[in-house]
Amino acid sequence: MEYKHSVPQIEKQILAKLEHGYGVGLENATNDQIYKSVALIAREMMEQGCSEFMAEAEKTKTKQVYYLCMEFLLGRSLKNTLFNLGVENDFREALRQMGVKLDSLYDCEPDAGLGNGGLGRLAACFMDALATQRYPAMGYSLCYEYGIFRQKLVDGWQTELPDFWLPGGRIWMHEIPEKAVEVHFRGHVEERWHNNYHECIHKDYTTIMAVPCDMYIAGMDGKGVSRLRLWKSKGESFDMGLFNSGNYMRAMEQNAMAESITKVLYPEDNHPEGKSLRLTQQYFLVSASIQDIIRTHLFQYATLDNLPDTVAIHLNDTHPVLAIPELMRIMLDECGYDWDHAWDITTRTVAYTNHTVMKEALECWSQELFKMQLPRIYQIVEEINRRFCQQMHDIGVDGYKVGRMAPLNDGYVKMANLAVVGSHSVNGVSALHSDILKKTVFNDFYTEMPEKFTNVTNGIAHRRWLNQSNPELANLLTQKIGRGYIYDASQLKKLEAFKDDKAVLKELAEIKHHNKERLAAYIKKENNVTVDPDSIFDVQVKRMHEYKRQHLNALNILATYLWLKDNPNADFVPHTYIFGAKAAPGYYFAKQMIRFIYKLGQLINNDPAVNQKMKVIYIEDYRVTLAELLIPAADISEQISLAGTEASGTSNMKFMINGAVTLGTLDGANVEIHDSVGDDNMLLFGMTTPEVEILRKDGYHPEQIYYNNPAVHCAIDYMRGGVNGVEFGDIVHSLTTNDPYMVLADFDSYQKAQGRAVKLYRNPETWQRMCLINIANAGRFAADRAIREYADNIWHCKPVPSSTAPGTDAFATK
């Protein structure tokens, strides 16, 4: 099937889609109908490209990568697709001739409700990088009907509303009901010996159908296309007998319960029903995905013996770790493999990335719940545990150590332990994080099996976060260093040659100012607050969590406000402090942090004594599309987690490549940013990880800092009395008693770093030179580089040999 990209052909295709899909002509079509028509054309282009690409991969027997993740934070697809396929300008011109603005169509598309934070955005960036570099890849996740949630702040308190994204987002999906698979829950297992073969039969189970809905992600120039397969849950059948007997609600309930599995991403799990649903979601994802992988593999090879040589299955964090026992189940129960052979195949096929050192994210499930929901899988986990513990005892490992490493212990199934036991590779996502995993979280494993552990520092899709989000900067780069950086981000290093070129530095400043004006217009429209584009835009956008320490930032803002009130004639560089974040629905303290920032903003923004010098803005419902607006406008990138708590971060990389200066601790990938740009081009503060450990060991007493630091004392006392009419006793109590993330310990150092930032910003040439050096050294944080490291060191796979010259549009008119 051919696609022609001439302007008349594009116009003809759009008109045909409007007529056949919506029964309207251009004169009666809405922007939404035109958007969906253009999206459908783009989707069909990618479907064709994916089909051709995968046919090449199959023909050349190129190893296939399967990437399992509970979330893929895609954002919008239309702009990314048209840009990557190299047809954006053609579509823009065709639509212009039709009297339609392409940018207005971009605004019709909702952000895909398939992700939440950095984990999901990383997965989306990786799909782009895999496609661009022609690695055949399929991502697997769930088709969430309502996504995470839409955030609404009511007097500063986060309220969760359903995110109705599918009406505008479904156009990107191709549902394939004929490839649906069955997933089985509950029931019981019968065991018996049959001709010397130990047979397990899972009986009386509940069946849920998993229906695949495919989305596509095009690589740059369409040289490769990744497929994202999303599973939608559906009841096996409608019970007509129940309905006809008058049990109407019961008949409907069965289907409703089945479909609840893919309603919402991360349902709250602070109650038994929520825990049960989360476990159900995770098994539903892995069972459907592993069955699909095996079916595809057997269709081509007719044996699983070569699975590790032809397939790489990657588990992105602990959520999909049940893939390990599920793969064992299929080989044992359905393919007739003995345990040792099946275990060898499984462990050589599966790899695992750990994304956090936070205890709450190292999932554990109670044995009772696990056994009730997944009886056969529980049996397999029991046997994995028994054999692993026996193996460790046989080589003389201490019993207490074996207990800490066991996948099954203390009444819990420990998913991180199961992941390490069942994978051939375990990696962290920054040099510091991987080192911490070896020294603390997985130290027992590392001392026994060090060969399993490695590092791959995270990366971002730089084409999206630079070329698409910041086109003026991209144009400047292209003028000065050529287009090579689009394909090879390391070529950004060439920009350093211009670090003393005053004309280039001036252009950088002008581009940043334009981006700040664009963001200021959005803030005026959405928040009804006027902000000064000439002020310092100090930005912290990420999940709301204590360890990310948004309350450290806010406490400093409050202290600065109080100081300005006492010193109204002080020489002060105007600041606009910008926050954006969602808190987990059940995370009460994080919601209090949001309200504190919001109320602080109300107090400051409405105080005529200071509001010409400082403003505080909380951007509601933070998401990818807003990040694309915010990040190019930032002067300062706040990356202020307590050292040793952030695995990597990726917003730090996005800010860096857009010319913001990092104000941060030596945590996560900040360490590698510092290695790249040096002390002079980064605003470092706070304790290092070893210093944090020493302070914790020696005994940390935040109340002493409260009494001895006048700025801290003044700010916290003000909080005690309430901020704009709301008391924040929980935050005050946390800061002055246990202060788990050592906000007060780093406060003085943080204030001094803010002071250095002001001094540097006062010299525009010095500041812009810092910005340029950050951009020039951001290439090492490209997702392309990360994927090459995964491919070379973990998956041991190669790209599909290209049948077209590099840079050729694979979709060009033939």
Residues of the chain with pLDDT under 50: 1-3, 804-814
654 has catalytic annotation: yes
What backbone phi and psi angles, to 5 degrees, belong to 207?
-105, 130
At residue 271, the pLDDT reads 85
CA gap 50, 130 in Å, rounded: 12
Active site residue 543: yes
- Active-site position among 76, 134, 227, 355: 355
Q: Which of 36, 542, 551, 769 is catalytic?
A: 542
410-426 b/e (C-beta count within 10 Å ≥ 16 → b): eebbbbbbbbbbbbbbb
Residues 744, 29: Cα–Cα separation, whole Å: 58
Q: Which of the residues 17, 548, 591, 613 is marked catalytic?
A: 548
Active site residue 518: no
Q: Please indicate whether the domains covering 63-75+110-384+414-458 and 462-785 agree at the CATH topology level.
A: yes
* 565 is a catalytic site residue: no
Is residue 548 part of the annotated active site? The answer reads yes
Cβ atoms of 134 and 559 closer than 8 Å: no
Check: pTM over 0.75? Answer yes or no: yes
Q: Which residue out of 464, 543, 769, 785 is catalytically annotated?
A: 543
Sequence letter at residue 461: A
Decide if 459 contacts 783 (C-beta within 8 A).
yes
Alpha carbon distance 710, 339 (integer Å): 66
pLDDT of 242 reads: 57
- Residue 152 CB neighbour total at 10 angstroms: 12
Report CA torsion sign: 615, 620, 624, 626: negative
Using CA atoms, how far apart are residues 556 and 758, in angstroms rounded to an integer? 14
CATH number belonging to domain 462-785: 3.40.50.2000
**225-235 and 137-142 beta bridge pairing:** parallel
Q: Is 11 exposed, middle or buried (0-12, 13-18, 19+ CB in 10 A)?
A: middle
Q: How far is the first Cα of the chain from the last one, in angstroms, to the nearest whole number?
A: 10
pLDDT at 5: 73
Q: Which of 414, 654, 769, 785 is catalytic?
A: 654
What is the third-level CATH fold of 63-75+110-384+414-458? Rossmann fold (3.40.50)
In this prediction, residue 810 carries a pLDDT of 37
Instruction: Report how far residue 325's alpha carbon sits from residue 183's, in angstroms, rounded to the nearest whole number.
Output: 14
Which among 506, 189, 228 has a CA at the least distance from the CA of 332?
A: 189
Do the Cβ atoms of 56 and 803 come closer than 8 Å? Answer: yes
Query: Among the options 650, 665, 689, 736, which is catalytic?
Result: 650
Q: Give domain limits for the chain.
A: 63-75+110-384+414-458, 462-785
Q: Are 495 and 480 in contact (CB under 8 A)?
A: yes
Q: Is 657 helix (H, G, I), strand (E, B) or coil?
A: helix
- Confirm if 673 and 662 have CB atoms less than 8 A apart: yes
- Secondary-structure breakdown of the chain: helix, strand, coil percentages, each rounded to the nearest 5: 55, 15, 30
How far is it, in rounded angstroms, from Cα 374 to Cα 368?
Answer: 10
Residue 662: strand, helix, or coil: strand
Which residue's entry shows tokens 């460790």?
392
Distance CA 29, CA 154 (A): 36
The pLDDT of residue 806 is 39
> Do 575 and 731 meet the contact criterion of CB atoms below 8 Å apart?
no
Q: Is 511 in contact with 551 (CB distance < 8 Å)?
A: no
Q: What is the pLDDT of residue 4?
A: 53
The whole-angstrom distance between residue 27's C-alpha and the CA centroid of its chain comes to 40
pLDDT for res 244:
65
Of 423, 528, 476, 399, which Cα lies nearest the Cα of 658?
A: 476
H or E stretch at 67: strand 64-68
